Chain A
Amino acid sequence: KNQVEQSPQSLIILEGKNCTLQCNYTVSPFSNLRWYKQDTGRGPVSLTIMTFSENTKSNGRYTATLDADTKQSSLHITASQLSDSASYICVVSPGSSASKIIFGSGTRLSIRP
């Protein structure tokens, strides 16, 4: 069964610290992996996308990595800010049809001052 598992479920860190969120997937075939940020009360917004051949992608203080062999991805946040408090969702696509994509349940990140 195609699945996307994220860990931890929730995380609290102090402002200015770094953190890493994990995503393991069993989706096959694999087309791409995307990380979304979802602020409370809002819809998800795309942060990064990686295809099979890419193993790292950055977007400002966000850096995503992908190991397609072990089917693992991580999202690293550097020098966290209060505005980083949100849920981060890992999404894996088995092909070009968005109707088949699979969403992880997300990691809820809280940044404390």
Chain B
Amino acid sequence: NAGVTQTPKFQVLKTGQSMTLQCAQDMNHNSMYWYRQDPGMGLRLIYYSASEGTTDKGEVPNGYNVSRLNKREFSLRLESAAPSQTSVYFCAGGLTGVNEQYFGPGTRLTVT
């Protein structure tokens, strides 16, 4: 039981490049979330998926897209990376209606 896994752990992109961050959970969670964590700030919600087949915007969705591929997998895509997207990205899973979340280990992204 790996919990919530994320790939890659580290990534460096040039401005304008695209990439997809992968997240998978084996905890049978209905809900999945993508956050970014920046120095001196709390985690901010980018997108979430309350159930398979649905996605919704969070607090800071601009510049990102998501796909809930199936119940286990929730990916985050940066179509044209910008330096402002340099951050640590966390994926989390949870049961709908219960706001405890289980976080993955994070992806540290640098955009130059």
Do B103 and A43 touch across chains, with their CB atoms under 8 A apart?
Answer: yes
User: Which A residues touch B33, using CB under 8 A?
Assistant: 98-99
| A98 to B, closest residue via Cβ | B99
A4 CA / B103 CA spacing, docked (Å): 20
Do B42 and A31 touch across chains, with their CB atoms under 8 A apart?
Answer: no
**Residue A83 CB within 8 A of the other chain:** no
Q: 22 interchain pairs (CB within 8 A)?
A: A32-B99, A34-B100, A41-B105, A41-B106, A42-B105, A43-B4, A43-B90, A43-B104, A43-B105, A43-B106, A44-B103, A45-B103, A46-B101, A89-B42, A89-B43, A93-B99, A98-B100, A98-B101, A99-B45, A103-B44, A105-B41, A106-B42
Contact with A along B68-112 (1 / 0, CB 8 A): 000000000000000000000010101001111101111000000
User: Which A residues touch B94, using CB under 8 A?
Assistant: 98
How many A residues touch the partner, as a band? 20 to 34
**Residue A109 CB within 8 A of the other chain:** no
Question: Tally of A-B residue pairs with Cβ under 8 A?
Answer: 55
Contact with A along B29-70 (1 / 0, CB 8 A): 001010000001111110010100000101000000000000
| B101 to A, closest residue via Cβ | A98
Within 8 A of B (CB), among A4-56: 4, 9, 31-32, 34, 41-46, 49
| B95 to A, closest residue via Cβ | A98
Number of interface residues of B (CB under 8 A): 25
List residues of A whose CB falls within 8 A of some B CB: 4, 9, 31-32, 34, 41-46, 49, 89, 93, 96-99, 101-106
List residues of B whose CB falls within 8 A of some A CB: 4, 31, 33, 40-45, 48, 50, 56, 58, 90, 92, 94, 97-101, 103-106
User: Which A residues touch B4, using CB under 8 A?
Assistant: 43
A102 CA / B35 CA spacing, docked (Å): 12
Do A105 and B42 touch across chains, with their CB atoms under 8 A apart?
Answer: yes
Do B56 and A102 touch across chains, with their CB atoms under 8 A apart?
Answer: no
| B45 to A, closest residue via Cβ | A99
